Chain A
């Protein structure tokens, strides 16, 4: 089973590298959020790379959000991550990714889900050139919410990976 999973991962990795390669050759467009196609997400990062050079990490998005019960990166999250990857490639320090879940469902299942999300971000970073040894993932599950109350608005803020 492990072997199978590994192969699957390699497949995904290869595919993503291909996509990233294609995307980087595209010319700029606005890259609106919610864009469903992969070709729109990396380009703005590349186009604006020089602008990010001098920017502090705080000016870039450090929180990446997820859909309910999902650990797949959204187009918006990929776009924000691409900007971070550009910045991180110019540094050498450790990268800590903290995975979180909303409060629905059991705590232990949610901590596993938070780890899946943190790993999804870590894998994406690794594929795009950040050495895996620099990346540490920790899941807090539903233990560290940033928004409180029982609404989809608060839940969606809590389903996240934070870059520290």
Chain B
């Protein structure tokens, strides 16, 4: 028992430290977020839980921009289940929904949350759930409950249990810089270092199963593409051709990887079959062809090319090699990613000399600029398409930020140390 408490305390300290690195600040929320109250969860006597589960749920829902959680100080009671709820109290506070719950420890290793979601206007319980995790994962338990509540109230699959990869660069005096490849939960907690180098690390990306990642490292003094298994930690060098080895992206089925190589002169798009290692050259042009991304059906790729004089997005059919230009508005469109439904692109778009993140609707080819800062880059879309992460600068430092696909919600995840960039939002992990 004592040992368990020590473990729990260590977890509290570790997670607090991690959260300090990436702090969430909401800059702009939805105009009419849904008022909701997440009541602190009750727990059985003698159980020490490392995290405030209700508070994590509150932060999750708040960060989505679609909910306005009631401050705890304004709550008139602390019900732990539906039978203890006085609807009239919550109605008077202007709350539409209430979440109540309790935590129990079942045996030495399982932590369980029982929770209920109540509709204040109809005075009904609209969702009841029980979720169990191992005792060292209370944050994951909270994110699971967040996903269920979010899905019930929005009809959109929740993405609170996803993770992100990103790169940090810390200047260490002289000309030295320390580069780190980091992984954290999508709220910035549970940060861990996956790779650490004195040479640049670039372009981290997820395999569709969320178990393997790929990135570019200059550790040999030249760029090379590596994969790394997240469970075993095993790294594998995939390429080390003369010239560029950049922009790795896994195909939607995970069997192939698109990449950029300049071994034959100019940068072109290639596809590698991951089982055999064989390469197929997809583009062949003396211009810069780079930044490939897969269309969801895996039959074509989009990429950036300056073959028309300025960087624009093109699409190439893998079967025929036919190339079509996709962007026509503005003189700089680059590093596009495809929305999960294939109906739109998010990209870096230059407008009046500033680099913004924009979304282009592929049906009407309308371009909407989502960000107002400058030097915005590396957009990465959530698997539920609700939001995207990107890199920008704030106070002279590289920071990560998020914006909803409709532009209505924005928040920053600044880092305390160094510059952070190149966020990659994971696929659904469960």
Contact = CB atoms under 8 A, between A and B. Distances in A.
Interface stretch (A1-9, A19-27, A40-48, A82-90): A1-9
B265 A2 contact: yes
A116 interface: yes
B381 interface: no
B200 A140 contact: yes
Interface string B350-386: 1000010000000000000000001101100000000
B246 interface: yes
The dominant DSSP class at the A interface is mixed
A158 interface: no
A112 interface: yes
A5 B288 contact: no
Contacts, number: 93
Interface stretch (B73-81, B85-93, B142-150, B217-225): B217-225
Given A112-B288, A138-B223, A104 B335 contact: no
Contacts of B332: 105
Q: How large is the interface on B (under 10, 10 to 19, 20 to 34, 35 or more residues)?
A: 35 or more
A150 B334 CA distance: 21
Interface string A112-152: 11011000000000000000000001111101101011100
Interface in B99-122: none
B288 A113 contact: yes
B221 A138 contact: yes
Contacts of A106: 291, 304, 311, 334-335, 348, 377-378
Q: Considering the complex of A and B, which 8 residue pairs feature the smallest CB-CB distances, nearest first?
A: A5-B286, A143-B200, A112-B288, A106-B335, A106-B334, A112-B267, A108-B291, A108-B290
Interface of A: 1-2, 4-5, 8, 103-109, 111-113, 115-116, 137-141, 143-144, 146, 148-150
28 contacts: A4-B286, A5-B286, A104-B355, A105-B311, A105-B332, A106-B304, A106-B334, A107-B203, A107-B378, A107-B421, A108-B247, A108-B334, A108-B335, A109-B304, A109-B306, A111-B244, A111-B246, A112-B262, A112-B267, A113-B288, A115-B243, A115-B244, A115-B262, A115-B267, A138-B222, A140-B200, A140-B218, A150-B375
